[in-house]
A and B are shown apart, each in its own frame.
Chain A
């Protein structure tokens, strides 16, 4: 079945450091891929998405490229801020347009000033 694997956290970085959070997936067909973020005390919200191979999703300085050959969707940001401290979830939506999301276990990011 479909599944998502994320790197384990927590990840602790200093402000302005480069961020990578790894995400790989297993899926049949052509899934859509997402990163959702949960800031402290808030609900899950979409950060970015990509719907086909080689697409790059971007938002708020974050980027992720849909790599079908490596079944990956790694999240990157060139310079993190304290306000980026949150839990990040990689997710996929399988083919069939159900909208059903399969999430990874989440990666906690803590950015220190």
Chain B
């Protein structure tokens, strides 16, 4: 098992452009989470999936953000019309979905909006 992977690891984009990130969870994990982390802060929850169903979205997730998990495996997070305030580390995590189970985190995608 190779763990949770994310692609790309780094993304620099100009304000107003669209970006898409990919997360590949651990294969047998039903749940997939997206978090955002800014410098000096802890991760903040954005959204999560149980298989292919998106079950909760944070109020942090504006209309410019969309996430999918089309076949209950990998997930994508798209940000449209990026703003400088979107600059952050975007973390993906997966878990089995059992109560209080461990979430396995990927290395993150660092987004810089210029």
Find B42's partner among A46, A98, A103 (CB 8 Å cutoff): A103
Q: What is the CB-to-nearest-CB distance from B99 to chain A, in angstroms, rounded to a whole number?
A: 5
**B100 and A49: CB pair below 8 A?**
yes
Please report the number of residue pairs spanning A and B whose Cβ atoms sit closer than 8 angstroms. 58
User: Could you give, for residues 16-55 of chain B, a 1 whenever the CB lies within 8 Å of some chain A CB and a 0 otherwise?
Assistant: 0000000000000001010100001111110010000001
Interface size class of B (residues with CB under 8 A): 20 to 34
**A100 and B48: CB pair below 8 A?**
yes
A4 to B41, CA, bound (A): 12
**A46 and B102: CB pair below 8 A?**
yes
> Which residues of A are in contact with B by a Cβ distance under 8 Å?
4, 32, 36, 42-46, 49, 51, 89, 91, 93, 97-106
Q: A93-B100, A102-B45 are in contact. List 15 more A-B contacts (CB 8 A).
A: A44-B93, A46-B102, A46-B103, A51-B99, A89-B42, A99-B33, A99-B48, A99-B95, A100-B33, A101-B33, A101-B35, A104-B42, A105-B40, A106-B41, A106-B42
